[in-house]
Amino acid sequence: MDRTEENRQEYKELQRRVKREVSKAKQKAYDELYTRLDTREGEKDLYRLARQRDRDGKDVQQVRVIKDRDGRVLTSEESVQRRWKEYFEELMNEENEREKRVEGVNSVEQKVDKIRKDEVRKALKRMKSGKAVGPDDIPVEVWKCLVEAAVEFLASLFNRVLKSERMPEEWRRSVIVPIFKNKGDVQSCSNYRGIKLMSHTMKLWERVVEARLRKVVEICEQQYGFMPRKSTTDAIFALRILIEKYRDGQRELHCVFVDLEEVYNRVPREELWYCMRKSGVAEKYVRVVQDMYERSRTVVRCAVGQTEEFKVEVGLHQGSALSPFLFAIVMDQLSEEVRQESPWTMMFADDIVICSESREQVEENLERWRFALERRGMKVSRSKTEYMCVNEREGSGTVRLQGEEVKKVQEFKYLGSTVQSNGECGKEVKKRVQAGWNGWRKVSGVLCDQKISARIKRKVYRTVVRPAMLYGLETVSLRKRQESELEVAELKMLRFSLGVTRLDRIRNEYIRGTAHVGRLGDKVREARLRWFGHVQRREKCRGQATVTQTPAVKSALPEETVTINCRTSPAVYNNNYLHWYQQKPGEAPKLLIKYVNQRLSVTPSPRPAPEGRGPRRHGRLPLPRGAGLWGCIAWKVSGRLGSRMSSRGIHERSSGP
């Protein structure tokens, strides 16, 4: 074509026409995308889109080079694959030194019932959808779609496996995917966590076996990890309330947070079989679990491809549905002679807290734990085990472990919640704010997109950002200033998502109303009430906590203290008093005092009053209108003044979303 002026004008016209058509097609595609995202079916795509936008915003998405053990950078695909295989093969096949057991244990030979269909249904219901598949490429959604046909087939398959004590060879294979820990050198293998992808059908089989083992094995009350009706909230609350009471009593409390090195990968399998038999597990199930660990093989899937296959002969399966309970059995048996009652000893899987009133005692207990665990193949980390002292006095010293000084700290991140030696929660509030911003940045591409509806933004905010900010706050006594810090951070996020700045001079109430989001302080109180309700509905446990109403009650009744008995977690023993306050101290306490003075439904206490103290009365307390949701089951009147302790609130349920 000749480069004439006429041809040039024709080319420009065609170029403009193509751009308009491309723009229309692009706009149409975006409109269809946003329309689909605004439906229930498109919500999963929304979270997938948010994750993809977060990955696209990172500097490095895939690491194709890695360092060897000497720090040299490997660039070829073959050398990188060999290094990944070398690292994980060494990690999963190395065993710590341990004593050989001389004593034996009697096996339990008993008849085992066949796998029933209802057991398969329950296991299938517990399996989550949308998870990465194992080497067999069969997702759990296949079995869920087949409904009763799948239940019947799986029950028949599991019964054959139970009878023969041999599972399919395909279930023995797995794939390890290295995930960066977001700290340290990105080219160092030690800064990656291996996630093992296993067959979903095998996980169903493991859940059936786990459900049966839980009916037979009774785990100690000090274990909170992966136990029914227990959570991190219970353990965090027990530790916080213990620290607060010793702080208020101006007495020393010594806590050691024990960390175990690569514990899942170092559990000797001979110890696992021994602990299962000692716990009363039928020999049939022991052989079934042994078969799960025989001839297990895995590969590493990295950015440059898959490595060669290698055997895994030590430790528990990462990513297994059964491994957490097997580990709980091992810890239960190994700690049988050294653990104390809660809250002096608390375990959440491999996170162990040892508390005592003296430094010498906690040091002695730490040494007993070290001996009990290390003689059986586990190892206490000298670098990550830390010591904290409450109400520390001059010259109190530090704790030593086999001559080495344990690191002394003023704060510790326990189960994701920061506890301080002074009993305060200021640093935990700052960590919650930071966690909220971290979650917000991951989904900021969705929250700040003005084409996405407010309903979708609200749901993303509630499911990603708010849970990160609320985690563990049920156990914290927030001051108004700290509550304000949380709400200020929340309002900044909401203003960003709505495209509004402070220069627009729009009131906070309008921002919340537009986003349909309630105050974060109300959500904290609602979460506290929800957890309190869970505690109330639990089966009756050994310990009880006494909940003191408010200082306002004592000012109205100068010679009496009104308290409310309620059931609480098994962790709260040893006369730990929980002290609660009402959101509006001038309103509900007056109603409560009125009902207490009328002595409604009073029955004599079956327990005698302690010597030197006034009479006790217990009874049902009707909830007066307007008094809020107290969640209390009985009240007690004692003729003595209670000491004023730290506040911890039961509040009225908020009406916000």
* Residue 137: CB atoms within 10 Å: 9
Structure tokens at 287: 């052989």
Distance CA 203, CA 486 (A): 40
Which residues lie closer than 8 Å to 35 by C-beta, 6 or more apart? Answer: none
- What pLDDT is stored for residue 617 in this prediction? 34
- What pLDDT is stored for residue 657 in this prediction? 38
- What pLDDT is stored for residue 26 in this prediction? 87
Percent helix / strand / coil, the chain, rounded to 5: 45, 15, 40
Q: Are 538 and 565 in contact (CB under 8 A)?
A: no
Distance CA 123, CA 115 (A): 11
- Please state the domain extents for the chain: 66-216+269-313, 221-268+321-387+400-412, 426-517, 527-638
Torsion of Cα atoms, 112 then 117 then 119 then 123, to 10°: 130
Distance CA 423, CA 103 (A): 46
Distance CA 64, CA 180 (A): 13
Omega before 551 within 30 of 0, i.e. cis: no
Distance CA 176, CA 164 (A): 29
Q: Are 167 and 291 in contact (CB under 8 A)?
A: yes
Distance CA 64, CA 50 (A): 24
- What pLDDT is stored for residue 284 in this prediction? 94
pTM, rounded to two decimals: 0.77
Using alpha carbons only, how large is the chain's radius of gyration in Å? 30
Distance CA 446, CA 443 (A): 5
Please tell me whether residue 650 adopts helix, strand or coil conformation.
Answer: coil
Q: What is the 3-state secondary structure (H, E, C) of 146-164?
A: HCHHHHHHHHHHHHHHHHH
Q: One-letter amino acid identity for 534?
A: H
Please tell me whether residue 541 adopts helix, strand or coil conformation.
Answer: coil
By CB atoms closer than 10 A (0-12, 13-18, 19+), residue 17 is exposed
Which residues lie closer than 8 Å to 92 by C-beta, 6 or more apart? Answer: 265, 298, 312, 313, 314, 315
Distance CA 396, CA 392 (A): 7
In order of 131, 133, 180, the CA distances from 177 in angstroms are 14, 12, 10
Which stretches in the chain have pLDDT values below 70?
Answer: 1, 55-61, 539-657
Structure tokens at 559: 């010679």
Which residues lie closer than 8 Å to 348 by C-beta, 6 or more apart? Answer: 223, 224, 225, 232, 235, 415
Q: What is the tens place of the pLDDT at every residue in 202-235? A: 999 999 999 999 999 999 999 999 998 889 999 9
The listed CATH number (3.40.50.300, 3.30.70.270, 3.40.190.10, 1.10.10.10) that belongs to domain 221-268+321-387+400-412 = 3.30.70.270
- What pLDDT is stored for residue 314 in this prediction? 92
- Adjacent-strand bridge partners of 229: none
Q: Are 583 and 627 in contact (CB under 8 A)?
A: no
- What pLDDT is stored for residue 57 in this prediction? 63
Of 160, 180, 211, which is closest to residue 59 (Cα–Cα)? 180
* Residue 417: CB atoms within 10 Å: 23
- What pLDDT is stored for residue 35 in this prediction? 80
Distance CA 580, CA 562 (A): 12
